[in-house]
Amino acid sequence: MSKFSYRRAWIIASTDLRQLRSSRDFWLPLGIIAALFFVVMPAALFAGLSTIKDAGIVTQIGNLMGSLPKSIQHQTAGRAPNVQAAYALAVYLFAPLAIIVPLTVSSAVGSQTIIGERERGSGEFLAHSPASEREIFIGKLVASLLPGYLTAGVGFLLYSLIVNLIVGPQVGGWFFPTTNWWILVLWVVPPFLALVVGIILRISSRVSSAAAAQQASALVTLPLVILAYALATGSLSRAKLFGGGLGLVAWMGAVIVLASGARSLRRERLLGLGA
């Protein structure tokens, strides 16, 4: 057995990334979705809340804030109801997007990456290349994860700027990201994304067509998106305990899935045999 080569794995990943970059009809819709959820919707919502002058609406928001957990009310005590609402939405409502949007991007790439080689006719070249099955799997994994991580990083940066520029002046200055968001973005999101993409790559290596890969990936992704919504919300409200434990479980799951996933890839499947 030849020694694992990071160079060969990176060549496979960089080739996929170049093809993805040149496929505008593939990444442009995903970019629009990311911009919509990380930039457009938060900016419109925060700006709308900041400019509310109607006393009746402000009273309704104040009543709504009174039903939120005590921890949230404590953090925004003494502020106008609409400012409290903007703070709560900035810190808690959009938290699931930190997982769901990157997950959507990486899932879309991952579901096509192995079966796509077979359908484009390039699977034969890859199957007869010097790269081992593990190197091929790692290369495909990196090519699927990088767009998701890039989306998460850029989206998080833009979202932070929007929150601080619109909500920050009303609560005494720049306050975002909070500690809970750092835990979510740096500790929970990376392994959760790797875990889901690892599962999708295994699916992509076993099905017989890209359409089947998309359908199977959707069946896997949908419940995970719902789970991500609940987990992200919970990790922000109890970040140190819940978020810390969740991240640890996700890291362990990702290691298991990725290690077994590398062993599941076979060259004959790249040739369209044994699917």
Instruction: Give 83-94 pLDDT, tens digit per residue.
Output: 878 887 888 777
- The predicted-structure confidence for 33-55, as pLDDT tens digits, reads as follows 889 989 999 999 888 887 776 66
Please state, in angstroms and rounded to a whole number, the distance separating the CA atoms of residues 11 and 38.
Answer: 31
Q: Is 9 helix (H, G, I), strand (E, B) or coil?
A: helix
CB 196 within 8 A of CB 244: no
Q: Does the pLDDT at position 239 exceed 60? A: no
Q: Is 177 helix (H, G, I), strand (E, B) or coil?
A: coil
Q: Does the pLDDT at position 141 exceed 80? A: yes
Mean pLDDT estimate for the chain = 79
CB 176 within 8 A of CB 236: no
Q: Does the pLDDT at position 235 exceed 60? A: no
Amino acid at 88: A
CA-closest candidate to residue 201, choices 119, 247, 249, 264: 264
Amino acid at 57: I
60 Cβ partners below 8 Å, 6+ apart?
A: none
Kindly report the pTM of this predicted structure: 0.82
DSSP conformation letters of 14-81: HHHHHHHHH-HHHHHHHHHHHHIIIIIHHHHHHHHHHT---HHHHHHHHHHHHTS-HHHHHHTTTS-H
Please state, in angstroms and rounded to a whole number, the distance separating the CA atoms of residues 266 and 59.
Answer: 63
